[in-house]
Amino acid sequence: MASKKKQKSVILTCAPTGGIHTPTMSPHLPITPRQIADEAIAAAEAGASVIHLHARDPETGKPDPSAARFMEFLPIIKQSTDAVVNISTGGGLGMTREERLRAAMRASPEMASLNVGSLNFGLFPLLEKYKDWKHDWEPQFLEMTKDFIFKNTFADIEYILKELGDGHGTRFEFECYDLGHLYNLAWFVDQGLVKPPFFVQMVFGIMGGMGADLDNLMHLHKKADALFGDDYEWSVLAAGRNQMPFATQAAMLGGNLRVGLEDSLYIGRGELAESNAHQVSKIRRIVEELGLSLATPAEARERLALKGGDQVGF
């Protein structure tokens, strides 16, 4: 017999720039505050209800943790779209915990990312793909990741839950790169530090985390259901060429999804996406062809119990 669970609309998150890809890799990666704002607004107009944001130094394109830099684009995005603003606390690899938290503590957003486990985060294989770098920091940064641990200990997670969650009423996109991360999150749920409805972002295809195999997605979803029952909303992102297939699979299974140039620079095999909206429009067509619809920002706010776009600090 078919499931009686009502199919919900799909919450589409777009992550326009991130802190992984570098300027040499695509001319379409937004770098300046104006570019980030324009890409975020166009992604929202194309159907994204949540925008996951990082900032970059406008001269070099290097991930930039300063609150002042974020404040150059956050008000523009807020004035132009109703989409939920989600500020990364993952920041750029190599930043301290304080740096990673700076912008969110200043902006008091409705949502922020929270990485719920430590892992190796290997970007160094990308070194092989490019030769002429625009900036010296790019190959140095990728090389550094060979000996790098993305540190998100229990103490770090607790600190962010308390300072940003309790302190600012910010709710989280809990990024899980591995099965163990679900159990880390479950521990915080048991402690009462994470309250439903919470939002789990399952991340596939990062070197150091789960591989992008559909078996892994099915298993993670099954375990999350067993651990969290009806208390959570789940979403999927996959890095690189697995982005669209995994987003499609998530929608088919009743989940939510994330796209954006943070996670993949491509729109198809060997073809760079011209913008974030390009990716949002593509997955929107797929979602709608499947007979599903995208959630509005108001629906996303209600389902994730967010404090509201008028309660932020920008």
Binding partner of 175, given ligand KMH, Zn ion, none, CB within 5-8 angstroms per partner class: ligand KMH
Beta strands in the chain (DSSP E): 12-14, 50-53, 84-87, 111-115, 119-120, 149-150, 171-176, 198-204, 232-238, 256-259, 266-268, 271-272
The site for Zn ion, by CB under 5 A, has a size of 3
* CA-based end-to-end distance of the chain: 49
235: partner contacted, choices Zn ion, ligand KMH, none (Cβ within 5-8 A by kind): none
Q: Which stretch binds ligand KMH (CB under 6 A): 31-39, 74-82, 83-91, 272-280?
A: 83-91
Minimum distance between the CB of residue 1 and ligand KMH, rounded to whole angstroms?
38
Q: Find, among 53, 56, 28, 24, the residue nearest to 41 by Cα.
A: 53
Contact call for residues 181 and 116 (beta carbons, < 8 A): yes
Q: Which of residues 81-120 bind Zn ion (CB under 5 A)?
A: 88, 90
Exposed e or buried b per residue across 246-257, where buried means at least 16 C-beta atoms within 10 angstroms of its C-beta: bbbbbbeeebbb
Give yes or no for residue 273 binding ligand KMH (CB under 6 A): no
Q: How far is CA 23 from CA 30, 59, 137, 177, 207, in A?
A: 9, 11, 10, 25, 21
Contacts (CB under 6 A) with ligand KMH, residues 13-42: 15, 18, 20
- Which CB atom, from 264 or from 281, has the smaller least distance to ligand KMH? 264
Judged by CB under 6 A, the residue of 13, 22, 108, 113 near ligand KMH is: 113
Cβ closest to ligand KMH, residue 47 vs residue 260: 260
Query: φ, ψ for residue 199 (rounded to 5)?
Result: -115, 115
Instruction: Based on the shown chain and the rule CB under 6 A, indicate whether residue 262 belongs to the binding site for ligand KMH.
Output: yes
Query: What is the smallest separation between the CB atom of 129 and ligand KMH, expressed in angstroms?
Result: 18
20 binds, among Zn ion, ligand KMH, none (CB under 5 to 8 A by kind): ligand KMH
Q: Cβ of residue 5: shortest distance to ligand KMH, in angstroms? A: 28
- Alpha-carbon gap, residue 107 to 304, rounded angstroms: 19
CA dihedral 300, 303, 305, 309 (to 10 degrees): 20
Q: Considering only residues 33, 63, 90, 255, which one is a binding residue for ligand KMH as defined by CB under 6 A? A: 90
Q: Which positions lie near ligand KMH, rule CB under 6 A?
A: 15, 18, 20, 88-90, 113, 115, 175, 203, 206, 262
Q: Which positions lie near Zn ion, rule CB under 5 A?
A: 18, 88, 90
